[in-house]
Amino acid sequence: MISNPYSGQLEQQVLGADPIELVGILFDHLIASIVEARQELLSGDRMARGRSIAKAQGIVGELSRSLDLERGGELARTLRQLYGFVADRLVQAQTRQLERPLIEAAETLRPLRDAWKELDLSRSADTPPPISGCVPELSTQSSMGFALSA
């Protein structure tokens, strides 16, 4: 059996991340899972496609559950709707075996991911998160090995 030298890298990255970095990591993995699902759809690998879509659905769920609609106001509500749209596109891609919903989901998420990465780069280490209610915190309650809670 070949060992993967990167197997613990994601775990270390997540454990060392602040809430804003963590959301960026989740966006990266969400988009990567959608891209993988699209490739697997095109290659006809139904099992792998299902796994990639399930992973993407889990990440979307974590992002959505992390929102605090009271503190986050209109922005948190808009993000919840966007995550709902992406979740719907993932269901459509899986149940109807269509490529277009995967393209739409990735295209919807990329600008948000890019903006989030820019926010991460532009802030200073001692500045509190600027978007109250939209930036999750780590907790210990998750099916994904880590959790987000507002």
Confidence at residue 5, expressed as pLDDT on a 0 to 100 scale: 52
Confidence at residue 146, expressed as pLDDT on a 0 to 100 scale: 36
Confidence at residue 122, expressed as pLDDT on a 0 to 100 scale: 82
Q: Domain for residue 6, yes or no? A: no
Q: Domain for residue 85, yes or no? A: yes
Q: Which of 64, 84, 72, 62 is nearest to 14 (CA)?
A: 62
Domain that holds residue 94: 18-120+131-149
Confidence at residue 4, expressed as pLDDT on a 0 to 100 scale: 54
Q: Domain for residue 103, yes or no? A: yes
- Under DSSP, is residue 6 helix (H, G, I), strand (E, B) or coil? coil
Confidence at residue 124, expressed as pLDDT on a 0 to 100 scale: 53
Confidence at residue 7, expressed as pLDDT on a 0 to 100 scale: 58
Residues 134/75, Cβ–Cβ less than 8 Å: yes
Give the span between the Cα atoms of 87 and 30, in whole angstroms.
Answer: 11
Q: Domain for residue 35, yes or no? A: yes
- Encode the chain (150 residues) as per-residue pLDDT tens digits: 455 555 577 678 778 878 888 899 999 999 999 999 999 999 999 999 999 999 999 999 999 999 999 999 999 999 999 999 999 999 999 999 999 999 999 999 999 999 988 888 887 545 555 555 555 544 434 443 333 333
Q: Domain for residue 51, yes or no? A: yes
Q: Domain for residue 108, yes or no? A: yes
| Number of domains forming the structure of the chain | 1
Confidence at residue 137, expressed as pLDDT on a 0 to 100 scale: 47
Confidence at residue 132, expressed as pLDDT on a 0 to 100 scale: 53
Give the span between the Cα atoms of 150 and 106, in whole angstroms.
Answer: 25
Confidence at residue 121, expressed as pLDDT on a 0 to 100 scale: 83
Confidence at residue 131, expressed as pLDDT on a 0 to 100 scale: 53
Q: Domain for residue 1, yes or no? A: no
Furthest C-alpha separation in the chain: 50
Q: Domain for residue 101, yes or no? A: yes
Residues 98/34, Cβ–Cβ less than 8 Å: no
Displacement of CA 26 from its chain's centroid (Å): 4
Q: Which of 143, 146, 134 is nearest to 66 (CA)?
A: 134
Confidence at residue 15, expressed as pLDDT on a 0 to 100 scale: 81
Q: Which of 65, 52, 64 is nearest to 112 (CA)?
A: 64
CATH number of the domain enclosing 79: 1.20.120.340
For 132, left (φ over 0), alpha (ψ -120 to 50), or beta? beta
